[in-house]
Structure 1
Amino acid sequence: MIEILTPTELPRARQAGALVANILQTMKSRTKVGTNLLDIDAWTKAMIAEAGAESCYVDYAPSFGRGPFGHYICTAVNDAVLHGLPHDYSLADGDLLTLDLAVSKDGIAADSAISFIVGESKPPESLALIEATERALAAGIAAAGPGARIGDISHAIGSVLSAAGYRINTEFGGHGIGSTMHQDPHVANTGRPGRGYTLRPGLLLALEPWVMADTDQLVVDADGWTLRSATGCRTAHSEHTIAITPDGADILTLPKQA
């Protein structure tokens, strides 16, 4: 299903996006060396409840997972990149952490992810991974607008990631979003321009470039959810929800400037 929001629904989408951005930035600010992943999950749960919103994850049970996810935020550390199931782990200096969050507010969902390094140690290769996904995300957003095609976004993202020397996995990518978290169209992280669905005002898309340092192959943890690099290399993931407007694309999950 491809869902097109009406102009009267877009303000609710903006509220959902602002909430997701606020929670992610709050979790980032609270995360220190020694922070436990389960604490991040508990803090997220509390903020969602306080906002009168609903988690898109806690009851999420797609065919590729193992039963309901059962948590409120994805926490992926180092070689984990997607669907990181929170567990009893205390973060160490230099860990690369990805937080991925989707929340529904007043019937509209928003989805975003950030990657950052915990503590004072800043491994250059990890910084390069994060920076590449952020640049690819910006390129994908710049390619989005009414009349553009999904392939234009995929090509823009893939061009940045490939130029940075990373191989691209196409099993998981961006997606439509609206009254539910995952909708059509699928937005692969590489593709051919001029192909695919034509973007229309009112369409919401979650764009999410992610890469692994030296592979494009994934393995699944014993928890049935967490996806890791097959070689144990580090990974990064950046995501925003955008709304296609008559004038271009608005980022709904952009953090407020301090």
Structure 2
Amino acid sequence: MAVLADAPPNPWFSWQYVTRNADDIRQALEQHVSLTLEAIAIAFVVALPLGALAHLRPRLAGPFLGTAGVLYTIPSLALFAVLAPYTGIGRTTVLIGLVAYALLVLVRNVLVGLQGVDPAVRDAARGMGYGRARLLFGVELPQAVPTIVAGVRLATVTTVALVTVGVVVGYGGLGQLMFRGFRSDYHAEIMTATVLCLVLALVLDLTIAAIGRGLTPWTRGTRGTRPV
């Protein structure tokens, strides 16, 4: 019986690389997670009042979305390079860029969610004596939660990918491993960082979706129901 030769090692996947560089991988992953979460948190804190203000004052919607759209169209490499001379090399520069890119998605979804509230619900609230502020915080924002959560999910997944570009200013999380792998032509390092980015994006997306379902318990009873 012929003896099969051992298969050559796969250059793209190496558990040996993972075990030998566990500390570097852990540090890069922690940096990536913290950058993503901090950027989304800051962008959400900025976007929520902007979207609400644009809803209350429709004439501001165009300028707000237009400004956010211009920031979104700037290439990430160019934006980080422009910011670096003023904000330095490192975390601050990357955070500013990430927040700028997340704003368009978040502001737009906040505004769309508020505008999409059923007019009958608004009329019923006004009939119950709700003022404009109470209507916004007590009726419109809760009704807009599913759309806002969808925007947060999209912005988060996008941010996970954009963090890697921060390597141009020396603070790119898993992008550091990718860049190092490209320079040394070490495929296993590139693939490890890529897989971790994908897993991180999936975990964050599912977590935010679960939080969204927890914030909107009234939507669960309508799923799977059919009109009689």
For normalisation by structure 2, the TM-score amounts to: 0.30
Larger Rg belongs to:
2
For normalisation by structure 1, the TM-score amounts to: 0.28
More helix by share: 2
